[in-house]
Each structure stands twice: as C-alpha cells, then as structure tokens.
C-alpha cells in the first residue's frame, strides 16, 4: 500500500522543500522505500538539501517526455539506499510537465515505493496543479504568520476544488517564546481560520539552516529540536495506516516549552 503525499503551501519560503527532505529521510530511516519527486521545475532545491546535486544524470522532464525510463533518472541517497530522489530540470519551466504525465509517472512509482513525496512549487498556477494531480494526501505547510496562513487557506480551497479531501497541516517555524508573549499567532488562531487536522508543529531552529547548507536534513541530528519535531511527524504519518489518528497535542508542547524556558 503506497501513498502519495504532496507537500504544498501557496506561499514561498515556509519550508516545503525542507519538510519534504526531512520527512523523506525520516521515512527512509524507518526502513520504508521512499522516493522524493521535485516538481519545482526551474527552481529546483530538493537535491541541494539532500546533498545529491552532483549525482543527477537525468531529470523529471526526460522521464515524462519518454526519453529515459524513470529508474534511470532516480538518484539514490548516499546513506540510505532505500531513499531516492527524482530531480527536476533547472533549465526548463513548469509548462514542461502536465498533470496527466505526472499521474502516469506516479502510477509507475506506486508499484515500487512505499511513500512518494511530491515537493510542490509555490503559487497556485500550472506547477501547483501538476504537483497535486496525483496526490492521495496533501500536507499543507504554513507558518504562524498572517500572510502564510491566508495563502494556506487559499491553497486548501484550491485543493478542495481539485477533489483532494485528505489534507493535513504542518505548522513550521514556530517561535514558542514569541507565541507565549502574544507576538506570534498561536495554534488556536491558526486552527480558527484553517480548521484542519494538524500533524506537526515544528519550531524555528538554527540547525535547519546549517543542515540545509551541509546537505544533510536536520532529522538526522539527535540534538535538533526541529529534527525531533520532524521525527514525530514521520511517526504520525506511519501511524495513519489506521485512519483518524488524533494529533497528540500535549506532551510535545509541554516538552518544547520546558526546553525553551531553561
């Protein structure tokens, strides 16, 4: 039973690609066979976050246009041999792939992989429509910030229009201190507007920056707060073979507050 996730947000810079890389690696660490598909054609970054840029031979466009089989374009990760990246082209643009092509590709990938994570470009145009076409589940990433929440709301509406009903929320880059002092939207404010099932709350963490630059997602770092949050999300995703899993709100938050108040 393979599942296709699309990681999307509407607004840029909220951490779609970071989330994709971390969740992909987290699922691979748990022994699942995972492929990450970058659909941000022309502005690809996922390969950088995974440190795989220098290993790319073929890309998504080569596959969808039938020049090579998808197996040839997959890049195996250095450390985890059950984690693959299907990079996209840096020279073409988003019109080069259409939704039907991606659906067909994902149908092929489904046979081979447990989890297919699609990294969606920012915006609501063609690139977005292509990226969500094949998805079973949409993970909407947002930040505790009014513009990011607005854009997430819009994206959820667009997903609904495309008949994607299984939508989960990940709130990224939370600064617990600012939330506590009332300078940042809290989870209640966000829930009021988005009213979505939340499966992750990730704190803003410097290790994300350093890990991005090193090409090693922070989920591998034992002492990273954000890494721990991503590991929790991976657990929730895997637990969701049983539907309607409740998001455990306590525990995680209490721990988080505790750490920050030291």
Partner 1 sequence: MSEDIVKIKGSKSGLQLSFAEDASYEVIRDDIQEKLASGSGFFLRGTLVQIPRDVFTTSEREELQKLFHEHGLICRTLSSDTERTPSAQVRKDVRQEQQEIRAESARMQAETQKAQEMVVVNRTLRGGQEIRTESSVMVCGNVNPGAQIIAGGSIDIRGTCRGMVHAGAFGDNTAFIIADHLVPTQIRISNLIARSPDQMEMADRAERASVKNGQIVIEPIER
3-class DSSP assignment, residue 107 = helix
* Helices and strands, counts by H and E, the chain: 12, 8
Distance of alpha carbon 108 from alpha carbon 101, whole angstroms: 11
Rounded to a whole number of angstroms, the minimum distance from the CB of residue 156 to partner 1 is 6
Rounded to a whole number of angstroms, the minimum distance from the CB of residue 153 to partner 1 is 4
Distance of alpha carbon 229 from alpha carbon 136, whole angstroms: 23
Which residue's CB is nearer to partner 1, number 189 or number 240?
189
Strand ranges for the chain from DSSP E: 3-8, 34-38, 75-76, 83-86, 115-119, 137-142, 167-174, 197-203
Burial of 57 (0-12, 13-18, 19+ CB in 10 A): exposed
Which residues contribute to the site for partner 1 (CB under 8 A)?
150-151, 153-154, 156-158, 160, 192-193, 195
Which residue's CB is nearer to partner 1, number 165 or number 250?
165
Which residue's CB is nearer to partner 1, number 10 or number 203?
10
Rounded to a whole number of angstroms, the minimum distance from the CB of residue 190 to partner 1 is 12
Which residue's CB is nearer to partner 1, number 195 or number 213?
195
Burial of 34 (0-12, 13-18, 19+ CB in 10 A): buried
Which residue's CB is nearer to partner 1, number 157 or number 239?
157
Rounded to a whole number of angstroms, the minimum distance from the CB of residue 204 to partner 1 is 24
Rounded to a whole number of angstroms, the minimum distance from the CB of residue 154 to partner 1 is 4
In contact, 211 and 218? CB cutoff 8 Å:
yes
Both structure tokens of 88: 């996209």
Which residue's CB is nearer to partner 1, number 48 or number 162?
162
Rounded to a whole number of angstroms, the minimum distance from the CB of residue 15 to partner 1 is 20
């Amino acid at each position: 039973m393979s599942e296709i996730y699309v990681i999307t947000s509407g607004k840029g810079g909220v951490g779609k690609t970071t989330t994709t890389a971390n969740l992909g690696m987290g699922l691979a660490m748990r022994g699942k066979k995972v492929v990450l598909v970058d659909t941000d054609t022309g502005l690809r970054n996922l390969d950088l976050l995974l440190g795989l840029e220098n290993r790319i031979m073929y890309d998504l466009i080569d596959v969808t246009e039938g020049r090579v089989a998808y197996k040839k374009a997959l890049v195996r990760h250095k450390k985890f041999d059950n984690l693959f990246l299907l990079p996209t082209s840096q020279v073409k643009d988003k019109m080069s792939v259409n939704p039907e092509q991606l659906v067909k590709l994902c149908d092929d990938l489904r046979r081979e992989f447990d989890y297919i994570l699609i990294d969606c470009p920012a915006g609501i145009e063609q690139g977005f429509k292509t990226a969500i076409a094949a998805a079973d589940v949409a993970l909407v990433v947002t930040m505790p910030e009014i513009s990011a929440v607005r854009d997430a709301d819009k994206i959820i509406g667009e997903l609904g229009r495309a008949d994607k009903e299984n939508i989960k929320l990940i709130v990224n880059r939370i600064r617990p201190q600012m939330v506590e002092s009332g300078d940042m939207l809290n989870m209640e404010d966000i829930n009021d507007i988005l009213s979505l099932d939340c499966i992750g709350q990730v704190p803003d963490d410097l290790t994300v920056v350093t890990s991005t630059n090193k090409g090693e997602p922070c989920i591998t770092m034992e002492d990273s707060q954000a890494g721990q949050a991503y590991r929790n999300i991976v657990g929730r995703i895997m637990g969701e073979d049983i539907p309607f899993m409740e998001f455990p709100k306590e525990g995680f938050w209490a721990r988080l507050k505790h750490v920050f108040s030291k």
